[in-house]
Amino acid sequence: MLSWFLHHPAVQFQFSSEECLSRTPPERFRRLWIELLAAGFLWGLVSVGLWHGGQWLFGQSVRLSFLPNLLVAAGVVLGLYHRATTSLVRVLAGPDFARGVLSACALAMLFVGGFMAMEPGWYLQEQVLPNWLAWVRPESKIDRLLLLLPLWGAWSMLILPQFHRPAADDAVVCAVARGCGPFTAAVIMGALLVATIGYFAYLPWTQVTIPVVGVIAAVAGGLALARRNGAMDRNVLLATNLLTQLAVLLAVAANSVSR
146-191 pLDDT, tens per residue? 999 999 999 999 999 999 988 878 888 899 888 888 999 999 999 9
248: closest CA among 156, 186, 138? Answer: 156
pTM of the model: 0.91
d(CA 18, CA 98): 24
pLDDT digits (tens, 9 = 90+) for 104-163: 888 888 888 888 877 666 556 667 666 766 667 888 888 999 999 999 999 999 999 999
Residue 23 lies in a domain: no
17 in any annotated domain: no
Alpha carbons 116 and 123: distance in angstroms, whole number: 18
> What is the per-residue pLDDT across 184-232, written as a single tens digit (0 to 9) for each?
999 999 999 999 998 888 887 788 899 999 999 999 999 999 999 988 8
Residue 54 lies in a domain: yes
Residue 16 belongs to some domain of the structure:
no
**Is residue 103 domain-resident?**
yes
At residue 2, the pLDDT reads 42
Per-residue b or e along 61-75, where b marks 16 or more CB atoms closer than 10 Å to that residue's CB: eeeeeebbbbbbbeb
Structural domain contains residue 154: yes
Domain assignment present for residue 7? The answer is no
Question: Does any domain span residue 60?
Answer: yes
CB 221 within 8 A of CB 162: no
What is the Cα–Cα distance from 188 to 39, expressed in whole angstroms?
Answer: 15
* Domain that residue 153 falls in: 29-122+139-258
Total of domains in the chain: 1
